[in-house]
Chain A
């Protein structure tokens, strides 16, 4: 029985998920309130925007790139979208129309930043890290400048309800995250462009010679990533009822960390949607549990670091047991 379990564990690529389950069980015993309906809902809600943003990042990383500008994308689309919707700025549409327009504008902002990144990386041949580092600086500065640091509020109710509304008993954020995951899964596993993304990540030259539209593939990944970040911004903005120019500025390492811990390679060509889901689950659980235990600020950081290291070691030992000795 144990031997079978062990063999299954050795073979499967779900080890991070198992780690999550283990962590969940342990935490349920030692933390009051962890294993409760309310907390599970919390977990789920905290997870969703992060999942959406991370899925976009996964696509970019599959091509061998990286997108550091997701935080500024979230901030900029939050304030731009909010200023279209806010009753203060007085565009004067009726609430549901302006919600519609607002979300549309947010997604367009995301796509536009993605397009800038993608074009710079492909057509101008700039390294992704530097491109997105500078666009991060630029667009987050732009968001702050645009609003002069002020938050934008008085958003229409129909927009605010997004984070609490349900569609056939499934909350909208969950629907959105599931939707993004399904789309990403569909694209990566069943379409031509999905195959192209992996091929580009594994070897650009081979891909180009084999007729892959390399530039188009990479650009679409950055655009997709930007749209995902913007979608994350929709959920965040709706949840906080505020368009904020510094929204999401601290989630960058969480997102990239989650994707990489899930197993997606930083060098491209290797990664899966479900891995990223597990990675995000791992990071969120970690935060949630440590938060509930009531550890102090710095202990949470120390433990978080140690657990990440621990997970990585487990994963390595699984793949290469010889390193244990």
Chain B
């Protein structure tokens, strides 16, 4: 009896993030009939697409026990560069490609300092965080910039009934998931994150792996930025601010460890991002007092992390018990 009970508790805890996510959705569903419409659920997905894409890139970096504080600046830079290019009369596709290149290049800069000079990622990306935003402000002359219709169209078209941002999100999540779980490169990322020294000794291309995760993160940040501005149609000087914290939060909420080697993009990071967005969405739908937003968001995320850590403690205990059999 006791065993069964313990087992069922563990089952619940095992899927805590999902269950809590469901609980949030159901709660809001009860509070407002509007929440549970197909349209609203697809809204949530569209709204979380940008965050989820950025958090996906962040997950790669976190898996190697690194951190990238510069993603918000990269997003901003991406927005500014695309707006500028379009304003100078470049075709849309060229602007998009350039922006993705800029993002990747920014990742390259981070990676260069991290692996050439062995400076810890926190400092490097703190520095590029400032430089990126400063440079973006310089380009934009600290002004908000509106983008042409074409951009907004990308943001609102549907292909086969799937909204474009969701489609991009799907492709990113799918390829990230494949890369992490089905390729040698992906598995080696986990190995490096667990212990870079061991990985080096084992002859893995550690430097190349570190380089690529920052490239991927920069690329994702730029792509996430594009997806966001395609919906917004404008870039303001605060665009992308605090995104780094939200991206990290989404990844960690999805079970990724800050200390490397643990976590996944699907379902982890995706659920994390969608959870955060659902809370925001639900609060608006039920027309909550604006002052309560941060209180409720903070408390709910705290609860999710709490349950997750309780599960973790339980797991450690049972693993120890099972170890010798």
**Chain A contact residues, CB within 8 Å of chain B:** 68, 120, 124-127, 129-131, 133-142, 144-145, 148, 253, 257, 260-261, 266, 297-306, 308-309, 312-313, 316-317, 320, 323
A141 CB, min distance to chain B CBs, angstroms: 3
Within 8 A of A (CB), among B113-138: 113, 116-120, 122-124, 126-138
For B291, what are the chain A residues with a Cβ–Cβ distance below 8 Å?
Answer: 141, 144-145, 148
Contact: B137 with A137, CB < 8 Å? no
- A316-B134 CB under 8 A given contacts A129-B252, A305-B128: no
Contact (Cβ within 8 A) A135 B305: no
Given contact pairs A144-B291, A313-B119, A316-B117, A137 touches B124 in the complex (Cβ within 8 A) = no
Q: Which B residues lie within 8 Å of A301 (CB)?
A: 130-131, 133-134, 137
Q: Are A320 and B118 in contact, CB atoms less than 8 angstroms apart? A: yes
Our pick among A133, A305, A308 for the contact of B134 (Cβ within 8 Å) is A305
Q: B310 contacts A124, CB within 8 Å?
A: yes
The answer to whether A261 touches B302 (Cβ under 8 A) is: no
A-B contact pairs, 17 of them (CB 8 A): A125-B312, A130-B305, A133-B245, A139-B298, A141-B298, A261-B123, A298-B134, A298-B138, A301-B137, A302-B131, A302-B138, A305-B127, A305-B134, A312-B113, A312-B117, A313-B119, A316-B119
Q: B297: which A residues are within 8 A, CB to CB?
A: 137, 141
Q: Does B3 touch A at the CB level, under 8 Å? A: no
Contacts of A126 in B (CB 8 A): 305-306, 309
Known: A129-B248, A138-B294, A145-B292. A260 touches B122 (CB 8 A): yes
A137 and B299 alpha carbons, distance in the complex (Å): 9
Q: Which of B119, B129, B292, B310 contacts A305 (CB 8 A)?
A: B129
- Looking at the complex, which one of A134, A136, A304, A308 makes contact with B305 (CB distance below 8 Å)? A134
Q: Which residue of B lies closest to A66 (CB)?
A: B258
| B52 lies within 8 A of chain A by Cβ | no
From the candidates B257, B295, B301, name the one contacting A142 in the complex (CB within 8 A).
B295
- Give the Cβ gap from A256 to chain B, nearest Cβ, in Å: 8
Partner of B295, one of A68, A130, A145, A320: A145
Q: For chain B, what secondary structure do more than half of its interface residues adopt (helix, strand, loop), or is it mixed?
A: helix
Which of A126, A253, A298, A312 has most B Cβ within 10 Å? A298
Query: Which residues of B (299-325) have their CB < 8 Å from a CB of A?
Result: 299, 301-302, 305-306, 309-310, 312-313
> Whole-angstrom distance between the alpha carbons of A133 and B305 in the complex?
11
Against A, the Cβ 8 Å flags (1 = close, 0 = not) of B237-265 are 00000000100110011000110000000
Compute how far the CA of A94 lies from the CA of B122 in the bound complex, rounded to whole angstroms.
Answer: 48
B30 beta carbon closer than 8 Å to chain A: no
In the complex, what distance in Å separates the CA atom of A60 from the CA atom of B133?
29
Cα–Cα, bound, A131→B118 (Å): 29
Task: Kindly list chain A residues whose C-beta atoms are within 8 Å of the C-beta of B295.
Answer: 138, 141-142, 145
Q: How distant is B186 from chain A, measured CB to nearest CB, in Å?
A: 24
Return the chain B residue nearest A315 by Cβ: B119
Determine the residue in chain B with the shortest Cβ distance to A142. B295
A312-B305 Cα distance, complex, nearest whole Å: 34
In the complex with contacts A141-B298, A298-B138, A304-B130, A266-B249 CB distance below 8 A? no
A131-B299 Cα distance, complex, nearest whole Å? 10
Beyond the given pairs A125-B310, A298-B133, 9 more chain A to chain B contacts, judged by CB atoms under 8 angstroms and listed by A's residue number, are A120-B302, A124-B306, A134-B301, A298-B137, A301-B130, A302-B130, A302-B138, A312-B124, A320-B118
Interchain nearest-CB distance for B142 vs A (Å): 6
Could you list which residues of chain B lie within 8 angstroms of chain A, going by C-beta atoms? Answer: 69, 113, 116-120, 122-124, 126-138, 142, 245, 248-249, 252-253, 257-258, 291-295, 297-299, 301-302, 305-306, 309-310, 312-313
Q: Which residues of B contact A313 (CB under 8 A)?
A: 113, 117, 119
User: Contact between B137 and A127 (Cβ–Cβ < 8 Å)?
Assistant: no
**What residues of chain B lie closer than 8 Å to A300, measured between beta carbons?**
134
Q: Is the CB of B131 within 8 A of A266?
A: no
State the 7 A-B residue pairs at the shortest beta-carbon distance, nearest first. A141-B294, A301-B134, A138-B298, A305-B130, A137-B298, A305-B131, A298-B137
Q: Using CB atoms, name the residue of chain B closest to A125.
A: B309
Contact partners of A312 in chain B: CB under 8 A: 113, 117, 119, 123-124, 127
Which residues in A have their C-beta under 8 angstroms from that of B126? 253, 257, 260, 305, 308
Q: For the complex formed, measure the closest distance between the CB of A58 and the CB atoms of chain B, giving whole angstroms.
A: 15
| Pair A134/B123 contact, Cβ less than 8 Å | no
Most A CB within 10 A of own CB, among B118, B142, B298 = B298
Q: Roughly how many angstroms separate A300 CA and B142 CA in the complex, as a whole number? A: 13
Closest A residue, CB atoms, query B133: A301
With a CB–CB cut-off of 8 A, which chain A residues contact B253? 130
Contact B117 A130 (CB under 8 A): no
Rounded to whole angstroms, the CA-CA distance of A138 and B142 in the bound complex is 31
Q: What is the CA–CA distance of A22 and B298 in the complex, to the nearest angstrom?
A: 44
Given A302-B130, A316-B118, the answer on whether A127 and B309 have CB atoms closer than 8 Å is yes
Report the minimal beta-carbon distance from B117 to chain A, rounded to whole angstroms. Answer: 5
A298: chain B residues within 8 A (beta carbon):
133-138, 142
Contacts of A133 in B (CB 8 A): 245, 248-249, 301
| Bound Cα distance from A129 to B246, whole angstroms | 12
B258 touches A137 (CB 8 A): no
Nearest chain-A residue to B299 (Cβ)? A138
Q: Do B142 and A297 touch across chains, with their CB atoms under 8 A apart?
A: yes
Within 8 Å CB of B116, what residues of A?
323
Please, which residues of chain B bring their CB within 8 A of the CB of A134? Answer: 298-299, 301-302, 305
Q: Bound complex: CA of A129 vs CA of B249, how far in Å?
A: 9
Smallest CB separation, B141 vs chain A (Å)? 9
Question: Which of chain B's residues have a CB closer than 8 A to the CB of A304?
Answer: 130, 134
Cβ–Cβ < 8 Å partners of B129 in chain A: 253, 305
Q: In the complex, A266 Cα to B125 Cα: how many Å? A: 14
Known: A138-B299, A306-B127. Contact between A127 and B118, CB under 8 A?
no
Determine the distance from Cα of A141 to Cα of B299 in the docked complex, in whole angstroms: 11
> Given that A298-B142, A308-B127 are known contacts, is A141 also in contact with B309, CB under 8 Å in the complex?
no
